[in-house]
Every structure is written in C-alpha cells, then in structure tokens.
Structure 1
C-alpha cells in the first residue's frame, strides 16, 4: 500500500499501534449494536451489526453517538 500525503508520517500513522477499546454487543429492540465502553453504563456506538434497513437511517443509532446501556437494555 502506498500513501501519498503532504502531512508528516508521524501524524498520518499516529495511534496505529494502539488497540481499540473493549467492545460490547448490545441488543436494542430489533437492532444489534457494537458499543465501545466509555464509562460504566455509557458507550459510544461503533457500528450496527444487524437490524432492519431503516435502522441505518435513524440518527440516534449513528456511529459515534453516546448511548446508555446495562442490564435493563440487554
């Protein structure tokens, strides 16, 4: 792979060796989400794993959105 960039290589590859946080799979209604734990009971949506097609258009389920999760949501 070749990368053409005017930015310094240190900036382009910053954080490449860091592993992403622990992910949790959560079922919310008929949608299965992959969430990255931010703090206890709060997570950031990483991606939608499974669900109806219209779930991908719902803004509250877009990646990067913070959601509450816990035993009541599972």
Structure 2
C-alpha cells in the first residue's frame, strides 16, 4: 500500500507499536491461512498464505469470510 501525505511519517505511524494483532495461522483443508478468531469455533479469514495459486481462486476462502473450525488441543 502506498500512502501519500504531507504529514511527517512519525505522525502517520504514531501508535502502531501499541496495536494488538490477534491473528493466528491455521491449516484448513490443506490451505494455510491467517485468521482473526471471533470465538472458540469461528474466525474471519485475514489472508491466505498458500503456495498454490488455485487456493486464491476459491471464493470459499476469500478474505473477510467467516469460517468454522474445530480447535485441536
């Protein structure tokens, strides 16, 4: 992402160190993805980190979709 602004970089990036990232990586149906948990069995897909280009074309795993999974203990 490119961000054009007249503001100094220190002002634009202020507070970014304090941002809490709550995403985790999971493998679902052989596809590695980064998700943001909603509760113990649901998560929102943030991005796919698979090496297979066909995985990115599957609308079932598009970013923003809510998926259900079973946590492994």
TM-score > 0.5, shorter chain as reference: yes
Which runs of 5 or more residues in structure 1 are unaligned?
Answer: 5-12
Aligned-residue offset at 1:3: 2.5
Q: Matched residues in 2 for 1:56 and 1:20: separation? A: 27
Where do 4+ consecutive residues of structure 1 move more than 2 Å?
1-4, 16-21
Give 1 or 2: higher strand fraction. Answer: 1
Q: CA RMSD in A?
A: 2.7
Q: Does 1:50 align with 2:47?
A: no
Count how many residue pairs are aligned between Structure 1 and Structure 2: 63
Correspondence 1:2 to 2:11: no
CA contact (8 A) 1:30 1:51 kept: no
Change (3 A) 1:28 1:62: same
Checking the alignment, whether the CA contact within 8 Å between 1:21 and 1:37 is kept in structure 2 is: no
Partner of 2:38: 38
Contiguous gaps of at least 5 residues in structure 2: 7-11
In structure 2, relative to structure 1, the CA distance for the partners of 1:58 and 1:39 (3 Å cut) is same
Question: How far did 1:21 drift?
Answer: 4.2
